[in-house]
Amino acid sequence: MRLHSWHLMTVAIGVWLLASACAPAAPTPPTSAPAAAPTTAPASAPSAAPAPKPSAAASPAVAASPAASPAASPAASPAASPAASPAAAPKPAVSPVAAASPAAGGTVSGTLPGGRKVSIALVVGVRGDPFYVTMQRGAQAEADKIGADLSVDGPAQFDPVQQTPIVDAIIARKVDVLVIAATDKQAMIEPLRRANDAGIKVISVDTFIGDGDYAGGPVTFPLSYIGSDNVQGGMIGCQALLQANGNKGKYYIQNVKPGISTTDQREQGCRQAITAAGDQATLVGVDYNDDSAANAAQQTSAVLQRTPDLAGIFGANLFSAEGAAQAVKNANLSGTVKIANFDAPEQAIADLRASVVDLVIAQKPADMGTVAVDYAAMAMQGNTSGIQKRVPTGYVVIDRNNVDTPEAQAAIYKSQ
| Rg of the Cα atoms in the chain | 20
SS3 state at 219: coil
Site string for ligand T6T, 335-364 (x = CB under 6 A): --------x-------------------x-
Helix (H) or strand (E) holding 205: strand 201-205
Q: Does 125 bind ligand T6T (CB under 6 A)?
A: yes
Residue count, binding to ligand T6T (CB under 6 A): 13
Nearer to ligand T6T, 129 or 267 (CB): 129
User: According to the binding rule CB under 6 A, does residue 207 interact with ligand T6T?
Assistant: yes
Contacts of 45 (CB under 8 A, 6+ apart): 98
Q: Which is nearer to ligand T6T, 245 or 341 (CB)?
A: 341
CB 318 within 8 A of CB 342: yes
Q: Which amino acid is at 205?
A: V
CB of 99 to ligand T6T, least distance (A): 15
Cα dihedral 364, 367, 368, 374 in deg (nearest 10) = 180
- Residue 368 C-beta: closest distance to ligand T6T, Å: 9
Min. distance of Cβ 256 from ligand T6T in angstroms? 6
- Determine, following the binding rule CB under 6 A, whether residue 318 of this chain makes contact with ligand T6T: yes
Residue nearest to ligand T6T (CB): 318
Complex with ligand T6T: residue 207 or 243, whichever CB lies closer: 207
Give one DSSP letter per residue of 265-320, joined into a string: HHHHHHHHHHHHH-TTEEEEEEEE-TT-HHHHHHHHHHHHHH-TTEEEEEE-SHHH
**Contact between 229 and ligand T6T per CB under 6 A:** no
* 262 contacts ligand T6T (rule: CB under 6 A): yes
Contact 17, 404 (CB under 8 A): no
What's the closest the beta carbon of residue 129 comes to ligand T6T, in angstroms?
5
Give the range of 218-226, 279-287, 314-322, 381-389 binding ligand T6T by CB under 6 A: 314-322
Q: Are 345 and 412 in contact (CB under 8 A)?
A: yes
Q: Is 131 in the site for ligand T6T (CB under 6 A)?
A: yes
239 binds ligand T6T (CB under 6 A): no
Question: To which H or E segment does residue 149 belong?
Answer: strand 149-153
User: Residue 59 CB, nearest distance to ligand T6T (Å)?
Assistant: 31
> HSE (CB half, 13 Å, CA atoms) of 142?
35
Q: Which is nearer to ligand T6T, 129 or 142 (CB)?
A: 129
Q: Is 313 exposed, middle or buried (0-12, 13-18, 19+ CB in 10 A)?
A: buried
Residue of the chain from 317, 347, 370, 393 that contacts ligand T6T (CB under 6 A): 317
For residue 322, state whether it binds ligand T6T (rule: CB under 6 A).
no
Query: CA-to-CA distance for 301 and 287, rounded, in angstroms?
Result: 12
Q: Is 206 in the site for ligand T6T (CB under 6 A)?
A: yes
Note whether 189 and 209 are within 8 A (CB).
Answer: yes
Minimum distance between the CB of residue 132 and ligand T6T, rounded to whole angstroms?
6
Residue 180: C-alpha distances to residues 29, 49, 164, 192 (Å): 19, 22, 11, 9
Q: Candidates 57-65, 88-96, 127-135, 195-203: pick the segment binding ligand T6T (CB under 6 A).
A: 127-135
Q: Considering beta carbons, is residue 82 or 369 the nearer one to ligand T6T? A: 369
Span near ligand T6T by CB under 6 A; candidates 3-11, 40-48, 124-132, 139-147: 124-132
Name the minimum Å distance from CB 34 to ligand T6T: 16
184 binds ligand T6T (CB under 6 A): no
Q: Distances in Å between the alpha carbon of 396 and those of 95, 156, 233, 393, 403?
A: 5, 28, 10, 10, 10
319 binds ligand T6T (CB under 6 A): yes
* Interacting residues with ligand T6T (CB under 6 A): 125, 129, 131-132, 206-207, 260, 262, 317-319, 343, 363
